[in-house]
Amino acid sequence: MANKEQQGNASPKFAPLQVDRTVDLCVIGLGGSGLTAVNEALTRGLSVIGIDAGEIAGEAAGRNGGFLLAGIAEFHHDAVTNFGRDKARRLYQRTLDEMALMERATPESIRRIGGLRIAFDDDEFTDCQRHFEALILDGFPVEMYDGPEGKGILIPTDGVFHPLNRAISLVEHAVAGGAELFAHTKALSVESNVVRTPNGNIEAKNILVAIDGNLSVLLTQLKDDVYPVRLQMLSTAPVATTRFQLPVYTRSAYDYWQQLPDGRISIGGGRDVGGVEEDTNEVRITSTVQNFLDERIKGLGITAPVEHRWAATVSYTKSGLPIAREVAPGVYAIGAYCGTGNVVGALLGRAVVEKISTGKSDVWSDFSEVI
């Protein structure tokens, strides 16, 4: 999930669209996936306009926990069970390949230091062992772990990144490459070749809808496949000592935390504690979840005061797999990453541009044909 309060550069500011335009590709939603698509399109020689209903990188892309995790939302052993070993292996490898591309594109924002899945109880430790065995069987890096955080597994290919700084780097690359980006420009409707906004329409050969939390609001044809989810976090004042060398997730990834380079602890989770109230696209914090996070941070032995609390919305699917779909001729939708959009979103943003440019993308096929 996102970490708005990681200290970094200021968010980029762009004006709204005020006139009609015509381009090869219009990208709706300028978070990590949309900005990756914009840059990939420029590399392939396409003219591009990107629009966002709010500030660019202002939603979950700029407010997340900064985890870079290999694989899809389901742990690898569960993916093998649900989708078959060959498909699960390909999807996992795709995300590893994408993390390498992300690191090359924005090395200043990414630290591939590894990540920990820590067992909350005996049942989860048994599941960690199954997770470990499945990764070993398919030749992916993983180690059993027993350390101060607890017992579980260490995945050395995982890591962390600064969401907002990475987004700013992608914006700078896009503008330098000739993309036109517009903030506070809400897509009122989308149909083949036309995006309608309050002050101008965009004619485009292809359209990519790359919003996550409100995906089914704009594309109502997806409402039976995706649902919104609110994710909440908090961060503390800097802690003088290094308490966590690596990012940690536990309780089947419901809870997650890391210590930032400046010493702050950021922690998110408790969505299940909040219950059905968290199945919403309303962006606000709640006392139930925030109280849970307060107790969680105390349980970790952290006494530093809480400085920031925030929420963001994403989308989930019932299948556990993201949306990668052509919803109308020339209109593509990506999103509903089930909380793992940092890597999978960038991967699909790149893949959809490959598909519209060449007529084929193996990555796109791997994701779109699973459902």
Return d(Cα 17, Cα 111) in angstroms, integer.
36
Residues 6+ apart with CB under 8 A from 4: 62, 63, 164, 233, 308, 310, 312
Taking phi over 0 as left and psi of -120 to 50 as alpha, with beta for the rest, 139 belongs to left
Return d(Cα 28, Cα 323) in angstroms, integer.
15
Tens place of pLDDT per residue across the chain (371 aa):
434 444 456 667 899 999 999 999 999 999 999 999 999 999 999 999 999 999 887 665 556 789 999 999 999 999 999 999 999 999 999 999 999 999 999 999 999 999 999 999 999 999 999 999 999 999 999 999 999 999 999 999 999 999 889 999 999 999 999 999 999 999 999 999 999 999 999 999 999 999 998 999 999 999 999 999 999 999 999 999 999 999 999 999 999 999 999 999 999 999 999 999 999 999 999 999 999 999 999 999 999 999 999 999 999 998 889 999 999 999 999 999 999 999 999 999 999 999 999 999 999 999 986 54
For the CA atoms of 311, 315, 340, 286, the dihedral, rounded to the nearest 10 degrees, stands at 20
C-alpha torsion sign, points 13, 330, 96, 89: positive
CA contacts within 13 A on the Cβ side of 43:
12
Return d(Cα 120, Cα 252) in angstroms, integer.
8
Q: How many residues are recorded in the chain?
A: 371
Q: What's the pLDDT at 11?
A: 66
Structure tokens at 350: 């790149």
Contact 315, 339 (CB under 8 A): no
Q: What's the pLDDT at 315?
A: 96
Beta bridge partners of residue 160, listed in sequence order: 67, 111
Q: What's the pLDDT at 56?
A: 84
Nearest 5°: the CA angle 180, 212, 215 is: 95
CA distances from 306 to 238, 267, 288, 331, 339 (A): 10, 11, 16, 43, 24
